Structure 1
Amino acid sequence: MKPAYPIRAPALRRAWLFVPGADIRSHAAALASGADAIVADLEEMTTPEDRPMARERIVAMLREAASLGLIGAARINKLENDGYADLEGIMPGAPHAVFLPHTETSDQLVVLDAALSEFERIHDIVQGTTEIVPTIESAKGLVALGTLLTVNPRIRCCMLAVEDLAANLGARRTPEGRELLYARSRFLMECIAADCVPIDLPCTYQSPATLAADMDLSTQLGFTSKCVVFAGHVDAVNRVLTPSTDAADAARATLAAYEAQGAYAADANNWVDAPKRNNAKRLLARYKAFQRDK
């Protein structure tokens, strides 16, 4: 069997860049963008008439991603639509992950697992190595998420969509995104409880200022992974989600100050509270993980 190629661990995958399935120029730009994962989209970004051609091009993109040590993935259509044809077309490229849109029921995931197992057998891919990434795009999917994430060990990451979710909720979209704050918070909690990496919804506004505010909220909530729909957003997302050496040094200083201060602070203005200590520990652990992953 073909050996599984080395890839970045789920917790260290930062930007997941989505690109149209048939657009080879977008594929090339994505592969050079710095994104940890490239997701070729056969659903919303590819018209039905372009899907046969797109599947062939995606296979080439997946192989190139593997050669570069990147995660090559694809979002297929729902299996009751063109999903089986999508899998038949892309599995020769051994995608590391397959995104399932509009995930709402356990049955959808069970059927996809069976289909992947069959295609893995056909294409001599190690059984069970193709990850499933459920995409949550509705209230029904979000409410069922705790159950969905336990269906299959292929599920290591899960993604929250944005525009279809907002439409399903009847939410009025704004750059600030307050209308989806509860959905993002609940999604993250359900994923963390299931030991699954939550991929935050994409910022679908191109403005750098809007992206910066969105990333500030995303990291404040606790997200460490992000869907991206504009290649120009990748650098900013990676920068925010990768602790710098200066940040690591500051975290070490915070931990040292916490240990040295004792039970009571002589100077209340310099007191290091437990939340600040916890944030420093978390940042330093992530920094060390990225250093080991180089």
Structure 2
Amino acid sequence: MSAQATRRPPELRRSWLFVPGLDPVRQQAALESGPDVVVADLEEFTSPAHRPAARARIAALMGECRARGIVGAVRVNKLDGDGLDDLRGVLPGAPAAILLPHTESAAQILALDQHITALEHELGLPHGQTEIVPTLESARGIVAAPAILSASPRVSACLLVAEDLSADLDAVRGPDGIELHHVRARFLVDCVAVGCVPIDCPFNYQNTTALAADLAWARRIGLKAKCTVFPHQVAAIHAALTPSAQQVAQAQEVAGRYEAVRDGKPAQGPRVDPPDYNTARRLLSRHARFVQWAQTAGDTMAR
């Protein structure tokens, strides 16, 4: 079975955990926290002097991710910086996805696609197996999102970055996150419109109550994936973005009551309105996708 067939599908990747490119201790901690995706970062978290050594380390890390059922990804530098050297250094490890920072145009994605295609051919990797994940970090990137996300069939997901974007907007940061609510909602719409998974921006405060509120807001509007730099946040992200047994039971009960009345049977319990029925159906559908993935992966812990 191909690597593409066995990797967790993009729509079920809830947590995207960033780690430095040359820090085995933090990489090991990341693997042990059980994220859906580990993103080895060659840009912000790896100094230029350490990048040559980090590339070789990351290529090996991708194999360690696969052995644990974790999707391995790499954030390279911009192509007009160290990005081409990054690609050549990490592609032998067959990362599932390449993240491109500071994306502001479709042309950047097309150029990355061409370089990945050439390297896949050179290295004997299956054509098209390497996904592209643009990262949007500026107002220009947000405005150009529809073109960026449609530029290549390799684009499977897109990441919204918090701190650089906040600086570009001159937004005042706070743990309630309201300064970016409008951008996060727009980002969601742009991604869904082209069939691309939106990865919500990280929550960079050490406040568990505020994190829970932020995750609840994100899930309420439809976001189902989030990035983080903290391994201890992975469990909270998974709990918020995965239907729990209680939620599944409640959704089944709500759907059953609505459908019974719809089919002319006596009402059992309070009235269920169509919006709540539709929400319940979507939750059950997502739960079914997790169950199917677990069966496909041959691992009951794949949720």
Asked if these proteins are the same fold (TM beyond 0.5), I'd say yes
TM tier, smaller: over 0.9
**Aligned equivalents of 1:263 and 1:274: distance in 2?**
14
Name the counterpart of 2:109: 109
Measured after TM superposition, the shift of residue 69 of structure 1 is: 2.0
| Distance (whole Å) between structure 2 residues aligned to residue 263 and residue 63 of structure 1 | 53
Native 8 Å contact 1:130 1:154 kept in 2: yes
Between the aligned partners of 2:133 and 2:201, the Cα distance in structure 1 is 13
Please state how far the C-alpha of 1:202 moved relative to its aligned partner.
Answer: 0.7
CA distance in 1, matches of 2:58, 2:105: 27
Q: Is the 8 A contact 1:100 1:132 kept in 2?
A: yes
Partner in structure 2 of residue 129 of structure 1:
129
- Extract unaligned runs of 5+ from structure 2: 295-303
Are positions 1:145 and 2:145 aligned together?
yes
Instruction: Tell me the SS of whatever aligns to 1:158.
Output: strand
Equivalent pair of 1:100/1:134 in contact (CA under 8 Å): yes
1:190 and 1:64 map into 2 onto residues whose CA distance is 34
Tell me by how many angstroms 1:262 deviates: 4.3
Query: Using the alignment, how far apart are the partners of 1:168 and 1:126 within structure 2?
Result: 38
Query: What is the Cα deviation at residue 61 of structure 1?
Result: 0.6
Give the letter for the 1:186 counterpart: R
- C-alpha deviation, 1:3, in angstroms: 5.4
Inter-partner Cα distance in structure 2 for 1:178 and 1:160 = 15
Contact 2:102 2:138 (8 Å CA) reproduced: yes
Match of 2:300 in 1: none
2-structure distance, mates of 1:203, 1:157: 19
- Aligned-CA RMSD value: 1.9
Q: Which structure has more RCO (C-alpha within 8 Å, separation ≥ 6)?
A: 1
CA distance in 1, matches of 2:235, 2:169: 31
Aligned to 1:45: 45
Give the aligned partner of residue 181 of structure 2: 181
Q: Residue by residue, what CA displacement relative to the aligned partner does 1:135-185 show, whole Å, maximum 9, x if unpaired? A: 010111111111111110000111111000000111011111111011000
Q: Deviations over 1:69-117 (max 9, x none)?
A: 2110000000001101111111110110000001001110111001101
Match of 2:297 in 1: none
Q: Counterpart of 1:125 in 2: which secondary structure?
A: coil
Identity of aligned residues (%): 45
Q: Secondary structure at the match of 1:270?
A: coil
Deviation, 1:261, is 3.0
* Segments of 4+ moved more than 6 angstroms: none
Q: Partners in 1 of 2:92 and 2:5 — Cα distance?
A: 15
Whole-angstrom distance in 1 between the partners of 2:181 and 2:210: 15
Contact 2:34 2:70 in 1 (8 A): no
1:75 partnered with 2:78:
no
Q: Return 182-191 or 241-250, whichever deviates more.
A: 241-250
Secondary structure in 1 matching 2:7: coil
CA distance in 1, matches of 2:258, 2:250: 12
- Match in the other structure for 2:260: 260
User: Counterpart of 2:6?
Assistant: 6
Residue of structure 2 equivalent to 1:242: 242
TM-score, with structure 1 as normaliser: 0.96
Equivalent pairs counted in the alignment come to: 293
Conserved? CA contact 1:5–1:69, under 8 Å: no
The answer on whether the counterparts of 2:19 and 2:40 sit within 8 Å (CA) in structure 1 is yes
